[in-house]
Amino acid sequence: MTEDGPPLDDVPEEDLVEALMGQFHAQELREWMSANELKRERGANKRRSAELAVAQDPEGIARFLYGRGAIDVEWDRQCIYYDACGNTTATAREEVCDACLDVSRRNSSEGAVDIDDYDDRAEYMAELHARFGDD
């Protein structure tokens, strides 16, 4: 996947099957598969249907499950202030790294740098790191 998304092709298929089963009752899963043009076997139970769905489109199902918060995928995502800090975030759901949060909190308590003095938030964050980054 791109820099904007986690590497969903690394999620084990069994994890996808389990997560997919957790999202639907058996009839709902059958209807969802039909709506998404995924083939299933007549009379297949819920597990077998989930296994067939994952076999047909593992990455698409991983995207679906990730979007619903049904699977958690760890990956290194650049902090939105990467140019100022050079860090990645701990999880896919975080946009700002811990170091940026720390310097922001320190600035809030000390009131040293006024964000209104900066047109670009990245420049503001670079200034915070210059002042508070390695104390």
Does 58 have pLDDT greater than 60? yes
Stated pTM of the model: 0.56
Q: What average pLDDT does this structure show over 10-16?
A: 89
For the cut 80, the answer to whether the pLDDT of residue 128 exceeds it is: yes
Query: What is the per-residue pLDDT for 52?
Result: 97
The whole-angstrom separation of Cα 32 and Cα 36 is 6
Q: Using 50, 70 and 90 to split pLDDT, how confident is the model at 2?
A: very low
Put residue 69 in one of left, alpha, beta given phi > 0 → left and psi -120 to 50 → alpha: left
Which of these, 111, 89, 109, lies nearest to 99 by C-alpha position?
A: 89
Query: pLDDT tens across 68-90, in order?
Result: 888 877 666 778 888 888 887 76
Residue 5's pLDDT is what? 63
The model's confidence at residue 49, banded by pLDDT at 50, 70 and 90, is very high
Q: Average per-residue pLDDT in the chain?
A: 86
What amino acid occupies position 80? Answer: I
Mean pLDDT score, 101-128? 90
Residue 6 has pLDDT above 70, yes or no: no
